[in-house]
Amino acid sequence: MSNQKHVLLCGNWKMNFGPKETQAFLEKLEWNKKSNAQMRIYVPYVSLTTAQNTLEKRGLLGRDTVSIGAQNVHYEKSGAFTGEISALMLTEVGIRHTLVGHSERRQYFNETNETVLKRTVHSLEQGLEVLLCIGETLNERNSNQTESVLTTQLAAILDHATCQAHFGDALHLAYEPVWAIGTGVVATPSQAEQAHSFIREMLHTKLGSEKALKTRILYGGSVSPQNFKDLLACPNIDGGLVGGASLKLDSWHALWNLI
Ligand code: PEP
C-alpha cells in the first residue's frame, strides 16, 4: 500500500493455541519487515512465555518485529482475585501489551464499561499498551443506536486523565461490531468507515487533532485476506484486530502482505 498510515495488524488467538501449538505456529511465521506497520499477537496467558521465547530465538521479538500481548488483565496489583492476572505479573514476564474490553469478555464474563475503565487505567499506569475494544450488537445497530453505544463505551475513558494522557501512544482502539465477530459477516468498508470517523471525531473533540490522529483505530470482525485491503483503504481504518484468520499461517501471512 502506498499511503503513509501507520498500520497495526493484531491477532487475537482467543482460547486457542497452548504452548506447543504456539511454538509450532511462531516457528513457521514468515517475517518480512514493513516500515509502515507493526504486528501484535494476543495469546492465552499460558502461552505468553513460549511465544516470547520462540520469537526471541528467531530474533523476531520486539517493536519493529512482533509484539506479544495478553487478552485481558485485572485492575488490582495483587490480592484475593482467584483466576485473575495482574498487569504487574504481565510486566514481570516481559509483556507490554494487552487487550481490554473485548466483546467476548463483555458478553460472557460480565465486563462493564466501569471494569473496562479500571482495567485500562491500571494497565496504563503499569506501563502496558492497551488495545481497547468497543462496538455495538446487531440489535443496537438495527435500532440506530451504534453512535450512542460507542459514545457510552468511550465516555468515561475519554474523561479520565490517565487515558487522556496515553491516547495515541499507549492507548489505541479497536472498533469491533459484535455482529461481525466470528460470524463471517464483515462490516462493509462504508459501515466501518462511518463508525471509525465517528470515533475519530470524538477523539478530536475531546483531545485535539494530534492525539486523534495518532490514536490507531483498528477494525475487527471477520477480517480476512479477501476483505482487508478494502477496509484498510478507508481513511480512518488504521489496521485490523483479527480472530479466526490469525490462527492460520496462510491467512495471517496474506493479511500482513496486504499492508
Ligand atoms: C476478534 O476476536 O476480535 C475478532 C474480530 O474475531 P474474528 O476475526 O474471528 O471475527
The pLDDT tens digits of the residues spanning 239-256 come to 999 999 999 999 999 999
Q: Are strands 171-175 and 129-134 parallel, antiparallel or unpaired?
A: parallel
Question: Does residue 100 lie within any of the structural domains?
Answer: yes
* Pocket of ligand 1 contains residue 11 by CB under 6 Å: no
Question: Does residue 195 lie within any of the structural domains?
Answer: yes
Residue 136: phi and psi, rounded to 5, are -100, 155
The tens digit of pLDDT for each residue in 47-91 reads 999 999 999 999 999 988 999 999 999 999 999 999 999 999 999
Question: Does residue 1 lie within any of the structural domains?
Answer: no
Q: Catalytic: which of 111, 129, 136, 176?
A: 176
User: Is 201 among the residues known to form the active site?
Assistant: no
- Which ligand 1 atom is the nearest neighbour of the CA of 180? 10
What is the predicted pLDDT for the residue at 113?
97
Domain extent, residue 161, equals 7-257
What is the predicted pLDDT for the residue at 1?
42
* Pocket of ligand 1 contains residue 242 by CB under 6 Å: yes
Beta carbons of 154 and 202 less than 8 angstroms apart: yes
> Which residue among 178, 223, 255 has the greatest number of ligand 1 atoms within 8 angstroms of its CB, and so is best to mutate?
223
* Pocket of ligand 1 contains residue 43 by CB under 6 Å: no
Question: Does residue 105 lie within any of the structural domains?
Answer: yes
Query: pTM of this prediction?
Result: 0.97
Question: Predicted confidence band at 2 (pLDDT cuts at 50, 70, 90)?
Answer: very low
Rounded to an integer, what distance in angstroms lies between the CA atom of residue 108 and that of residue 212?
31
Question: Does residue 125 lie within any of the structural domains?
Answer: yes
What is the predicted pLDDT for the residue at 63?
84
- Which ligand 1 atom is the nearest neighbour of the CA of 224? 8
Q: HSE of 118 in the Cβ direction (CA atoms, 13 Å)? A: 9
Does the pLDDT of residue 219 top 70, yes or no? Answer: yes
Residue 102: CATH number of its domain: 3.20.20.70
The tens digit of pLDDT for each residue in 148-159 reads 999 999 999 999
Nearest protein Cα to ligand 1, atom 8: 243
* Pocket of ligand 1 contains residue 181 by CB under 6 Å: yes
CA dihedral sign of residues 138, 139, 145, 151: negative
Question: Does residue 229 lie within any of the structural domains?
Answer: yes
Rounded to an integer, what distance in angstroms lies between the CA atom of residue 188 and that of residue 168?
26
Question: Does residue 162 lie within any of the structural domains?
Answer: yes
- Spell out the residues 6+ positions from residue 157 whose beta carbon is closer than 8 angstroms to its own: 116, 117, 120, 132, 163
Question: Does residue 25 lie within any of the structural domains?
Answer: yes
* Pocket of ligand 1 contains residue 178 by CB under 6 Å: no
- Which ligand 1 atom is the nearest neighbour of the CA of 12? 2
User: Is 122 among the residues known to form the active site?
Assistant: no
Beta carbons of 85 and 45 less than 8 angstroms apart: yes
**151: enclosing H helix or E strand:** helix 146-159
* Pocket of ligand 1 contains residue 104 by CB under 6 Å: no
The tens digit of pLDDT for each residue in 168-213 reads 999 999 999 999 999 999 999 999 999 999 999 999 999 999 999 9
Domains contained in the chain, number: 1
